[in-house]
Structure 1
Amino acid sequence: MRIMGLDFGSKTIGVAMSDAFFWTAQGVKTIRRSKKEIDELRELIREYEVMEIVIGYPKNMNGTLGPRCALTDEFAEVLRLEFGLPVELWDERLSTVAAQRTLLEADVSRAKRKLVIDKMAAVFILQGYLDRRSTGNIPV
Protein backbone atom coordinates (compact mmCIF):
# COMPACT_ATOMS: atom_id res chain seq x y z
CA MET A 1 0.00 0.00 0.00
CA ARG A 2 1.25 3.46 -0.93
CA ILE A 3 0.24 7.10 -0.98
CA MET A 4 0.31 8.90 -4.33
CA GLY A 5 1.32 12.56 -4.55
CA LEU A 6 0.29 14.73 -7.50
CA ASP A 7 1.40 18.11 -8.79
CA PHE A 8 -1.63 19.05 -10.89
CA GLY A 9 -0.66 21.52 -13.61
CA SER A 10 -2.36 22.92 -16.68
CA LYS A 11 -0.24 20.82 -19.09
CA THR A 12 1.15 17.99 -16.96
CA ILE A 13 0.63 16.05 -13.76
CA GLY A 14 3.72 15.19 -11.74
CA VAL A 15 3.40 11.87 -9.89
CA ALA A 16 5.25 10.67 -6.79
CA MET A 17 4.74 7.61 -4.58
CA SER A 18 5.50 6.92 -0.97
CA ASP A 19 7.54 3.92 0.05
CA ALA A 20 5.64 1.06 1.72
CA PHE A 21 6.38 2.49 5.20
CA PHE A 22 5.17 6.03 4.30
CA TRP A 23 8.56 7.54 5.15
CA THR A 24 9.83 8.82 1.80
CA ALA A 25 8.48 10.07 -1.50
CA GLN A 26 9.97 9.10 -4.86
CA GLY A 27 9.22 10.62 -8.23
CA VAL A 28 7.49 8.22 -10.60
CA LYS A 29 6.57 10.04 -13.79
CA THR A 30 5.10 13.07 -15.47
CA ILE A 31 1.77 12.56 -17.21
CA ARG A 32 0.85 14.82 -20.10
CA ARG A 33 -2.68 16.19 -19.54
CA SER A 34 -5.07 14.48 -21.98
CA LYS A 35 -8.20 12.39 -22.13
CA LYS A 36 -6.04 9.42 -21.08
CA GLU A 37 -4.72 10.92 -17.82
CA ILE A 38 -7.32 9.07 -15.70
CA ASP A 39 -6.38 5.77 -17.35
CA GLU A 40 -2.69 6.41 -16.63
CA LEU A 41 -3.47 7.26 -13.02
CA ARG A 42 -5.68 4.16 -12.73
CA GLU A 43 -2.79 1.98 -13.90
CA LEU A 44 -0.41 3.55 -11.36
CA ILE A 45 -2.97 3.18 -8.57
CA ARG A 46 -3.30 -0.52 -9.40
CA GLU A 47 0.44 -1.10 -9.84
CA TYR A 48 1.43 0.61 -6.57
CA GLU A 49 -1.69 -0.41 -4.60
CA VAL A 50 -2.44 3.21 -3.75
CA MET A 51 -4.65 3.76 -0.71
CA GLU A 52 -4.72 7.58 -0.69
CA ILE A 53 -3.99 10.49 -3.03
CA VAL A 54 -2.48 13.84 -2.07
CA ILE A 55 -2.77 16.74 -4.51
CA GLY A 56 -0.81 19.97 -4.26
CA TYR A 57 -3.21 22.83 -3.51
CA PRO A 58 -2.05 26.09 -5.15
CA LYS A 59 -2.72 28.67 -2.45
CA ASN A 60 -1.42 32.21 -2.83
CA MET A 61 1.55 33.23 -0.69
CA ASN A 62 -0.80 35.11 1.68
CA GLY A 63 -2.84 31.93 2.27
CA THR A 64 -5.81 32.87 0.12
CA LEU A 65 -7.08 30.49 -2.54
CA GLY A 66 -5.50 31.02 -5.93
CA PRO A 67 -7.34 30.84 -9.25
CA ARG A 68 -6.17 27.26 -9.84
CA CYS A 69 -7.68 26.08 -6.55
CA ALA A 70 -11.15 25.70 -8.11
CA LEU A 71 -9.69 23.53 -10.91
CA THR A 72 -7.78 21.48 -8.34
CA ASP A 73 -10.97 21.03 -6.28
CA GLU A 74 -12.77 19.76 -9.39
CA PHE A 75 -9.94 17.36 -10.26
CA ALA A 76 -9.85 16.06 -6.67
CA GLU A 77 -13.58 15.33 -6.85
CA VAL A 78 -13.16 13.49 -10.16
CA LEU A 79 -10.46 11.33 -8.55
CA ARG A 80 -12.62 10.62 -5.49
CA LEU A 81 -15.52 9.51 -7.68
CA GLU A 82 -13.39 7.61 -10.20
CA PHE A 83 -11.20 5.68 -7.76
CA GLY A 84 -13.14 5.67 -4.47
CA LEU A 85 -10.01 6.70 -2.58
CA PRO A 86 -9.47 9.46 -0.03
CA VAL A 87 -8.03 12.56 -1.73
CA GLU A 88 -6.26 15.16 0.40
CA LEU A 89 -5.35 18.68 -0.67
CA TRP A 90 -1.90 19.75 0.51
CA ASP A 91 -0.60 23.33 0.53
CA GLU A 92 1.98 23.33 -2.26
CA ARG A 93 3.37 26.84 -1.81
CA LEU A 94 7.02 26.89 -2.83
CA SER A 95 7.11 23.20 -3.83
CA THR A 96 8.07 24.05 -7.41
CA VAL A 97 10.64 26.59 -6.16
CA ALA A 98 12.17 23.93 -3.88
CA ALA A 99 12.19 21.40 -6.73
CA GLN A 100 13.81 23.93 -9.06
CA ARG A 101 16.47 24.76 -6.45
CA THR A 102 17.24 21.08 -5.89
CA LEU A 103 17.64 20.45 -9.61
CA LEU A 104 19.86 23.52 -10.02
CA GLU A 105 22.06 22.40 -7.11
CA ALA A 106 22.35 18.99 -8.78
CA ASP A 107 23.51 20.79 -11.95
CA VAL A 108 20.67 19.35 -14.04
CA SER A 109 20.48 20.96 -17.47
CA ARG A 110 17.62 23.30 -18.33
CA ALA A 111 16.18 20.80 -20.84
CA LYS A 112 16.20 17.96 -18.30
CA ARG A 113 14.79 20.22 -15.56
CA LYS A 114 11.82 20.97 -17.79
CA LEU A 115 11.15 17.25 -18.16
CA VAL A 116 11.25 16.42 -14.44
CA ILE A 117 10.17 19.59 -12.60
CA ASP A 118 6.53 18.52 -12.11
CA LYS A 119 7.59 15.07 -10.89
CA MET A 120 10.02 16.69 -8.44
CA ALA A 121 7.34 19.11 -7.23
CA ALA A 122 5.09 16.08 -6.58
CA VAL A 123 7.91 14.60 -4.48
CA PHE A 124 8.10 17.77 -2.37
CA ILE A 125 4.30 17.86 -1.96
CA LEU A 126 4.10 14.22 -0.92
CA GLN A 127 7.16 14.36 1.34
CA GLY A 128 5.67 17.34 3.21
CA TYR A 129 2.46 15.37 3.69
CA LEU A 130 4.33 12.24 4.83
CA ASP A 131 6.45 14.23 7.29
CA ARG A 132 3.36 15.82 8.82
CA ARG A 133 1.50 12.48 8.79
CA SER A 134 4.31 10.82 10.73
CA THR A 135 3.75 13.27 13.60
CA GLY A 136 0.04 12.46 13.67
CA ASN A 137 -0.64 16.15 13.06
CA ILE A 138 -2.45 16.33 9.72
CA PRO A 139 -4.49 19.56 9.48
CA VAL A 140 -7.95 19.46 7.98
Structure 2
Amino acid sequence: MPDPVSAPETVFGFDFGIKRIGVAMGNTMIGQASALAVIRGEDNATRFGAIAALIDKWGPTRFVVGLPLHPDGAEHDMTARCRRFANQLHGRFNIPVELVDERYSSAVIQARRGEVIDDRAAAIILQQYFDQYFPQ
Protein backbone atom coordinates (compact mmCIF):
# COMPACT_ATOMS: atom_id res chain seq x y z
CA MET A 1 0.00 0.00 0.00
CA PRO A 2 1.22 3.51 -0.74
CA ASP A 3 2.33 5.87 2.00
CA PRO A 4 0.28 9.09 1.74
CA VAL A 5 2.94 10.97 3.76
CA SER A 6 5.83 10.24 1.37
CA ALA A 7 6.99 12.56 -1.43
CA PRO A 8 4.52 13.09 -4.30
CA GLU A 9 4.63 10.44 -7.01
CA THR A 10 3.64 10.48 -10.66
CA VAL A 11 1.32 7.53 -11.24
CA PHE A 12 0.13 5.88 -14.45
CA GLY A 13 -3.23 4.11 -14.57
CA PHE A 14 -3.97 1.41 -17.15
CA ASP A 15 -7.21 0.05 -18.56
CA PHE A 16 -5.95 -3.14 -20.22
CA GLY A 17 -7.67 -4.54 -23.27
CA ILE A 18 -6.76 -7.05 -25.94
CA LYS A 19 -6.87 -4.47 -28.75
CA ARG A 20 -6.25 -1.25 -26.82
CA ILE A 21 -4.75 -0.10 -23.54
CA GLY A 22 -5.97 3.13 -22.01
CA VAL A 23 -3.40 5.13 -20.07
CA ALA A 24 -4.04 7.88 -17.54
CA MET A 25 -1.67 9.95 -15.44
CA GLY A 26 -1.82 11.81 -12.17
CA ASN A 27 0.20 12.54 -9.09
CA THR A 28 -0.38 11.74 -5.47
CA MET A 29 -0.04 15.34 -4.27
CA ILE A 30 -2.93 16.65 -6.38
CA GLY A 31 -4.86 13.37 -6.45
CA GLN A 32 -6.40 14.04 -9.86
CA ALA A 33 -6.27 11.59 -12.77
CA SER A 34 -6.24 12.70 -16.42
CA ALA A 35 -6.55 10.67 -19.60
CA LEU A 36 -3.17 10.44 -21.33
CA ALA A 37 -3.13 8.02 -24.26
CA VAL A 38 -4.65 5.03 -25.99
CA ILE A 39 -2.16 2.39 -27.07
CA ARG A 40 -3.27 0.29 -30.02
CA GLY A 41 -1.76 -2.97 -31.16
CA GLU A 42 -1.98 -6.56 -30.13
CA ASP A 43 1.72 -7.46 -30.06
CA ASN A 44 3.78 -6.90 -26.92
CA ALA A 45 6.62 -5.12 -28.74
CA THR A 46 4.25 -2.37 -29.91
CA ARG A 47 2.46 -2.07 -26.59
CA PHE A 48 5.50 -2.02 -24.35
CA GLY A 49 7.41 0.23 -26.75
CA ALA A 50 4.64 2.82 -26.49
CA ILE A 51 4.52 2.44 -22.70
CA ALA A 52 8.32 2.86 -22.52
CA ALA A 53 8.05 6.11 -24.49
CA LEU A 54 5.42 7.43 -22.05
CA ILE A 55 7.59 6.41 -19.09
CA ASP A 56 10.58 8.23 -20.59
CA LYS A 57 8.49 11.37 -21.07
CA TRP A 58 6.61 11.47 -17.73
CA GLY A 59 8.72 9.42 -15.27
CA PRO A 60 6.05 7.59 -13.26
CA THR A 61 7.08 5.88 -10.04
CA ARG A 62 3.98 3.69 -9.67
CA PHE A 63 1.47 1.92 -11.93
CA VAL A 64 -2.18 1.18 -11.23
CA VAL A 65 -3.85 -1.50 -13.36
CA GLY A 66 -7.60 -2.01 -13.46
CA LEU A 67 -8.63 -5.53 -12.51
CA PRO A 68 -11.87 -6.63 -14.19
CA LEU A 69 -14.18 -8.84 -12.17
CA HIS A 70 -17.71 -10.14 -12.52
CA PRO A 71 -20.32 -8.09 -10.62
CA ASP A 72 -20.21 -10.65 -7.79
CA GLY A 73 -16.41 -10.26 -7.52
CA ALA A 74 -15.56 -13.54 -9.26
CA GLU A 75 -12.60 -13.61 -11.61
CA HIS A 76 -12.84 -14.40 -15.33
CA ASP A 77 -10.56 -14.71 -18.38
CA MET A 78 -9.72 -10.99 -18.58
CA THR A 79 -8.85 -10.96 -14.88
CA ALA A 80 -5.98 -13.38 -15.53
CA ARG A 81 -4.87 -11.39 -18.59
CA CYS A 82 -4.78 -8.17 -16.55
CA ARG A 83 -2.78 -9.84 -13.79
CA ARG A 84 -0.32 -11.07 -16.43
CA PHE A 85 -0.10 -7.55 -17.92
CA ALA A 86 0.55 -6.10 -14.44
CA ASN A 87 3.31 -8.66 -13.85
CA GLN A 88 4.86 -7.84 -17.24
CA LEU A 89 4.79 -4.11 -16.46
CA HIS A 90 6.60 -4.71 -13.19
CA GLY A 91 9.08 -7.13 -14.75
CA ARG A 92 9.95 -4.88 -17.71
CA PHE A 93 10.10 -1.53 -15.97
CA ASN A 94 10.77 -2.41 -12.31
CA ILE A 95 8.06 0.00 -11.18
CA PRO A 96 5.62 -1.02 -8.41
CA VAL A 97 2.17 -2.06 -9.65
CA GLU A 98 -1.12 -1.89 -7.75
CA LEU A 99 -4.29 -3.65 -8.93
CA VAL A 100 -7.61 -1.80 -8.56
CA ASP A 101 -11.11 -3.21 -9.00
CA GLU A 102 -12.33 -1.74 -12.28
CA ARG A 103 -15.89 -3.01 -12.29
CA TYR A 104 -18.11 -0.57 -14.16
CA SER A 105 -15.36 1.91 -15.16
CA SER A 106 -15.92 1.27 -18.88
CA ALA A 107 -19.68 1.16 -18.36
CA VAL A 108 -19.59 4.69 -16.92
CA ILE A 109 -17.83 5.94 -20.04
CA GLN A 110 -20.21 4.04 -22.35
CA ALA A 111 -23.20 5.56 -20.61
CA ARG A 112 -21.80 9.07 -21.06
CA ARG A 113 -20.55 8.84 -24.62
CA GLY A 114 -22.09 5.79 -26.24
CA GLU A 115 -18.67 4.21 -26.78
CA VAL A 116 -15.75 3.00 -24.74
CA ILE A 117 -12.93 5.51 -24.44
CA ASP A 118 -10.06 3.56 -22.97
CA ASP A 119 -7.99 6.47 -21.68
CA ARG A 120 -11.04 7.84 -19.84
CA ALA A 121 -11.65 4.42 -18.28
CA ALA A 122 -7.99 4.42 -17.18
CA ALA A 123 -8.54 7.86 -15.61
CA ILE A 124 -11.56 6.54 -13.67
CA ILE A 125 -9.49 3.57 -12.43
CA LEU A 126 -6.64 5.86 -11.36
CA GLN A 127 -9.05 8.31 -9.72
CA GLN A 128 -10.54 5.45 -7.67
CA TYR A 129 -7.01 4.66 -6.48
CA PHE A 130 -6.33 8.30 -5.55
CA ASP A 131 -9.67 8.64 -3.77
CA GLN A 132 -8.98 5.52 -1.72
CA TYR A 133 -5.32 6.11 -0.79
CA PHE A 134 -4.80 9.88 -1.19
CA PRO A 135 -8.08 11.58 -0.25
CA GLN A 136 -7.94 15.34 -0.62
Distance (Å, rounded) in 2 between the aligned partners of 1:61 and 1:22: 31
Query: Where does residue 130 of structure 2 map in the other structure?
Result: 130
Residue type of the partner of 1:49? Answer: G
Distance (Å, rounded) in 1 between the aligned partners of 2:46 and 2:125: 23
Percent of pairs with identical residues: 34
Match of 1:79 among 84, 89, 104: 89
Residue type of the partner of 2:20? Answer: T
Provide the secondary structure at the position in 2 that maps to 1:74.
helix
Structure 2 stretches of 5 or more lacking a match?
A: 1-8
Distance (Å, rounded) in 1 between the aligned partners of 2:70 and 2:79: 10
Residue type of the partner of 1:25? Answer: A
TM-score (norm 2): 0.85
**Ranges of 4+ aligned residues in structure 1 off by more than 6 Å:** none
Query: Where does residue 51 of structure 1 map in the other structure?
Result: 61
Provide the secondary structure at the position in 1 that maps to 2:80.
helix
The answer to whether 1:27 aligns with 2:35 is yes
Distance (Å, rounded) in 1 between the aligned partners of 2:61 and 2:79: 23
The answer to whether 1:12 aligns with 2:20 is yes
Q: How many residues align?
A: 125
